[in-house]
Structures are given as C-alpha cells and as structure tokens.
Chain A
C-alpha cells in the first residue's frame, strides 16, 4: 500500500487496532486520527501532526516522534517506551497511565499534560517542560530531568534516584 493511501485509510479510521509496525509516515498530517489499540512499534513519525489524535493503548515503542505535534492527543495507556520524543509537543496531551520507560524526550513540551500514574522511569527528559502538568503518582525512577521545567506541576510523583540537576520546581 502506498503512503498516500495509508494516510487516507488512517484518517478515515480504518486502521484503528491494526498492526502497522514500522511504517514511515514522517511529516504526515494525522491530526484527529483514530489510532487506538494500533501497533506502531518503531514507526517513523518524526514531524507528524498527531494533534488531537486518539492513540489510546497504542504501541509506539521505539517509534521516532521527534518534533511531532501530539498536543491534545489521547495517549492514555499508550506505550511510548524507548520512543524518540525529542522536541515533541505534548501540550495538554492525556498521558495518564502511559508507558514512558526509557523514552528520550529532550526539550519536549508536556505543559498542562496529564501524566497521572504514568511510568517515565529511566527516561531522558533533559530540558523538557512539564509546566502545570499533572504528575500525580507518576514514577520518574532513575529518570534524567536535568534542566527540566517542573514549575506549576501538581501531584506527588516518585523521583527515586532521578537526576533533577538544574531542574526548576
């Protein structure tokens, strides 16, 4: 299937729950698409517009989401472990109960995002912004939050052995 046809099928909601694997959709506009329960492990999604997309319980482990727009996306229960979220925009995203274990998210924006009960352990969030985010029960065990901006973040999170050097709280 060519890339244009796949994008059309995704936008029409036909691919929710599908096994798409390591597809290359970098730079595509998938805003508002229903990709719930979809397997996108190691997919190339850099620069993708996924704002407002439904990625509930999607598998995005190892995916490249560098510079992607995930603002307002539903990522509840999504598996973003070991994904590349460098400079991604996750402003206002729903990341409740999301798996962010080993995720790289340098200078990513989580402002106003809901990270309740999420698992960002061993993740690399250098310079990321979590302003006004809900981090209640999030487990940042061994995460790198050097120079991260946590001002206005609310809730009790677990920062056991996390690197908070230079972080603003």
Chain B
C-alpha cells in the first residue's frame, strides 16, 4: 500500500495519497488546495487518481476539490451529497467500504468537530480528518459534540489494531497505541 503525506498551503492542512501498488489506482484524502507536489508524486509513481475522499466539509479540506476533479476526472466520495458544488459520486455512511484498486477501506462515523465527519481505515492505517490529532482532538462547538467525538474515537479508532498508523488533518501522524495511551483528552 502506498501512502504519501502532503502539507498543503492552507491552514497547515494535510492531504494524503493512498495508492494500490498492483493496479496503480489512487485516492486523495482531503483536498484543501491544489498542489503541484501531489501531481508530481502521482506522475512519478505512475498512479492514476480515481477518487477524492472528503473527511468533512470544511474549506481547508475541500477548497482544492474542483481542480483535482477537473484535472483527473476523479469521483468524489463523502458523507454528504454535495461538496463545493460537486455532486458526490458515492455518499458513504458508517460501515460502508470504498475501494482503491485492490485495497479496501472502511468508513467510520466520527462526528463532533462537524456533524458529517468520517474517518477512513485501511489495514494498517486510518485517516481521521479533524476528529483526532496527535495528542489532541479537533475543536467542537459544544460539550455534547465533544463527548460524541471522544466516544466515536474510543469506539471506532481506538479499537483498531494498536500499531495502526493514524494520519490526521493537521499536524503529525501517530498510532492507535500512542493516542489511546498518551493523548491527554483520553487519559
């Protein structure tokens, strides 16, 4: 499985390319800005961008979506019907699976930071958007939203295998073992 991180030029936001080494199909996870480095990486690796997965509908995760859709004719996958005016090709909910070539990812609902927030887990790694950060969590509008978020992370993220890499919307990556043991919001 190919996973490559990119720091985009908007609000310190991350994006990730997930690629299938066998079929050379790729998915972009979050699209805060169009970045030539993403295009260059895809080209170097011989990857074809088929889909863009949106973890949640905030500008710093979606503003570049139009350019990726235009350049690559990529389908949009999200938990809401439209993102940035683009009709979603596959609207996902908790428990749904998505494919990247021969790879299969599972969608988990992780609301709180936003109502529609979802995470996407592949064997060995999970992409949490702004639900969970290294040593922190995404901001919420109310105590009830915060509890929903913490509960979802405990239930769906912290139950993944401990060595699972956690790739987040802002800041550094982590692992399930590290966050469940040391994240000050949970211990």
Contact = CB atoms under 8 A, between A and B. Distances in A.
Interface of A: 37, 41, 57, 59, 61, 77-79, 81-82, 97-99, 101-102, 117-122, 139, 141-142, 161
Contact of A102 (B7, B171, B182): B182
A122 B135 contact: yes
A81 B166 CA distance: 12
Contacts of B155: none
B171 A117 contact: yes
Nearest to A103: B182
Interface of B: 4-5, 7, 12, 133-136, 163, 165, 171-175, 177-179, 181-184, 187
A102 B5 contact: no
Given A101-B134, A121-B182, A79 B171 contact: no
A97 B177 CA distance: 19
B182 A82 contact: yes
A81 B5 contact: no
Contacts of B172: 77-79, 97-99, 118-119
B183 A117 contact: no
B167 to A, nearest CB: 10
Most chain B beta-carbon neighbours within 10 Å: one of A37, A120, A139: A139
A82 B171 contact: no
